[in-house]
Structure 1
Amino acid sequence: MSDLLKAVFLGVLQGLTEFLPISSSAHLRIFPDLFGWGDPGAAFTAVIQIGTELAVLIYFRHDLWRIGSTWVRSLYRPEYRGQLDARMGWFIIIGSLPIVLLGILLKDTIEEDFRNLWVIGTTLIVLGLILGIADRVSSDRLQIKDIRLRDAVLMGLAQACALVPGVSRSGATISMGRFLGYQREAATRYAFLLAIPAVVGAGLFELKEIPHGDNSYGWGPTIVATAVSFLVGYAAIAWLLRYVSTNSYLPFVIYRVGLGSLTLILLGAGVLSA
């Protein structure tokens, strides 16, 4: 298969899995290895995630403009400081700090040790079960307007766990949100907003790591994969927000446990290499 076709496939995979609580980084690690393409690498993975985050920026453009403009006004106009949008701006900033700081401190470990398929298979299962438990025990009474600083910090810490492939940014944040009592749509929407600074920052940071020349994942395939991930990701956002308004996360829990188990079985059988 040509490099561009591989890039299209990986872009579709990224777009489909970035917003679902099933871990896009795990899929970008497992499936290329299963097809014999090799690990595309942490830099490639981080950069093509910019495409899906661009989809978030466009999909939530009205929310982001309202939050951003109100937050800026609140810096010099005290009457805005009590408004939800001003507080939401601070919550997104504060909630992003754990994953940013740990991402910088653990960069080498993330790109090497954490990408081990034994780790990924295990985290797919464990975090899948955690998501299922959180969804079942949630009081389901809080909306996004009820968010407090404590909740923002806790969801930010949960998001930081997604530095380990297989955890899932949205899955970890949603799980914490559900444990705290947030409704599914509220937890999912906040997870999308909270991911923006971390994912865009990581993608820009990793741009310099993208190889050049005749490497199969140079700039050409990376740009194609990023564009495809944007188109597919935009559709995935709209679908998931509609889905969670009336359905549980159980199908995603089953999928995570199934994929994690299959990964571990294939590793044990020697079909996949860690």
Structure 2
Amino acid sequence: MTADQLVVLAVIQGLTEFLPVSSSGHLNLVHLLMNYPDQGVAIDVAIHLGSLVAVVTYFWRDMLFLLGGVRDVVLLRRSEPARLLLLLALASVPLVVFGFIMVKTGLVESVRSLEVIAWTTVIFALVLWACDRLGGTGRAFAETRISDAVWVGLAQCISLIPGVSRSGITMSASRALGYERTEAARFSLLLSIPAILAVGAGTALELDGGAAQLVSSDALLAAGLSAVAAFVSIWFMVALLKRTTMLPFVVYRLGLGIVLLWFAYA
């Protein structure tokens, strides 16, 4: 792998992992424009680990709060940290179950095409716009109920289709439930932690040379670049949503979708 490919893929993945703009759409566009070869499993895992470091670092206070919930769950004690931790776990279950089914049945490969990514990028831009425009306001992540966790968790399963965007569909679902925009982003980002862990663990099982590949200079560089880019994108998104609506992301997705449709059908 060349240095420019490593930098471009790590930065693009990091920047788009948490924004509601479809990381798969961006990576496919990069491969179309640059004609890069496959980067390999080790780099995929490293990039996801970098993204994980970024979201955990940004939400370090929430992580400490939720870690208290781990203790309370083990001790069978009721507490607010334990309640929210269990709700995040509940919301993560559907993605794991449906992801396993799609991998075992081969469905995950059948929907991985440029045409699918292009159309889902456009369609779910409109879903994001509708949910943001019609959704109520005032709710916070701390007010999450079991029904909310189930709803957002089921919505997250749709992101198994490339181009949908995991962050985009979970924020859409949260906005439809009346969460404030920054709280919808917070819910989505915290929910990304178990999702990234699951994807990273599943991908790591495909490593031929074991964990040693993850400490190579290329993998470490990819992880570092992805972490920095992801942290910047999280900061940018949260800052933007404090001032405006989801419309900038909707417009951007529509533009990206049109470009991908042109590549798919031209």
Which whole-Å deviations, capped at 9, do the CAs of 1:36-70 have from their partners, x for residues lacking one?
A: 11455788546522211111112212211211213
| Equivalent residue, structure 2, for 1:272 | none
Q: Give the TM-score of the pair, scaled to structure 2.
A: 0.90
1:64 to 2:60 alignment = no
Q: What is the letter of the counterpart of residue 86 of structure 2?
A: W
8 Å CA contact 1:135–1:249 kept in 2: the answer is: yes
Structure 2: gaps (5+ residues):
210-215
Letter in 2 for 1:226: A
Q: 1:160 maps to which residue?
A: 157
**Residues in 2 aligned to 1:143 and 1:204: alpha-carbon distance in whole angstroms:** 30
- Following TM superposition, by how much is the alpha carbon of 1:148 offset from its aligned partner in structure 2, in angstroms? 0.5
Conservation of the 8 A alpha-carbon contact between 1:134 and 1:178: yes
In the other structure, the counterpart of 1:216 is: none
Q: Answer whether contact 2:6 2:222 (CA < 8 A) is retained.
A: yes
Alpha-carbon deviations, 1:196-229, whole Å to 9, x = none? 01111211221232467xxxxxx65444322211
Change (3 A) 1:38 1:122: farther
User: Are the aligned partners of 1:29 and 1:40 in contact in 2 as well (CA < 8 Å)?
Assistant: no
Rounded to whole Å, the distance in 2 between the matches of 1:211 and 1:261 is 38
Q: 1:5-20 counterparts in 2 under 5 A?
A: 5-20=4-19
Identify the residue that residue 92 of structure 1 maps to in structure 2. Answer: 88
1:209 alignment partner, SS class:
coil
Counterpart of 1:120 (choices 117, 121, 143) is 117
SS of the residue aligned with 2:205?
Answer: helix
- Structure 1 pair 267–40 and aligned structure 2 pair: CA distance change class (3 A): farther
Q: 1:103 is aligned with what amino acid? A: G
Q: Does the 8 Å CA contact 2:112/2:161 hold for their aligned counterparts? A: yes
- Contact 2:45 2:200 (8 Å CA) reproduced: yes
Q: What's the offset of the Cα at 1:26? A: 2.2
The CA distance in 1 between the partners of 2:116 and 2:163, in whole Å, is 8
In structure 2, C-alpha distance between the alignment counterparts of 1:119 and 1:209, rounded to whole Å = 25
> RMSD of the TM alignment (CA)?
2.2
Which contiguous aligned blocks of 4+ residues in structure 1 show a shift greater than 3 angstroms?
38-47, 108-111, 219-223
Q: Deviations over 1:216-264 (max 9, x none)?
A: xxx6544432221111111211221111112111011111111111111
Distance 1:113 1:250 in 2: 31
| Paired residues of 2:46 and 2:222 also in contact (CA < 8 A) | no
Cα distance, 1:149–1:135 mapped onto 2, change above 3 Å: same
Contact 2:167 2:188 in 1 (8 A): yes
How far apart are 1:161 and its partner, in Å? Answer: 1.2
2:121 and 2:257 in contact (8 A); partners too: yes
8 Å Cα contact 2:10/2:225 also seen in 1: yes
CA gap of 1:4–1:211, structure 2 versus 1, over 3 A, is: farther
Q: Counterpart amino acid of 2:51? A: T
Matched, 1:195 2:192: yes
Asked if 2 retains the 8 angstrom alpha-carbon contact of 1:25 and 1:45, the reply is: no
**Structure 1 pair 67–24 and aligned structure 2 pair: CA distance change class (3 A):** same
Partner of 2:258: 261
> Structure 1: which 5+ runs fail to align?
213-218, 270-274
Q: Is the 8 A contact 2:70 2:82 kept in 1?
A: yes
Question: Aligned residue pairs: how many?
Answer: 260
Q: Percent identity?
A: 35
Kindly report which structure 2 residues correspond to 1:1-274, keeping only aligned pairs within 5 A, or say none: 3-38=2-37, 40=39, 45=44, 47-76=46-75, 78=77, 81=78, 83-107=79-103, 109=106, 111-210=108-207, 221-269=218-266
- The answer on whether the counterparts of 2:128 and 2:172 sit within 8 Å (CA) in structure 1 is yes
> Normalising to structure 1: TM-score of the pair?
0.87
Q: CA deviation at 1:71?
A: 4.0
Between 169-178 and 255-264, report the one with greater CA deviation.
Answer: 255-264
The separation in 2 between residues aligned to 1:59 and 1:6, in whole angstroms, is: 27
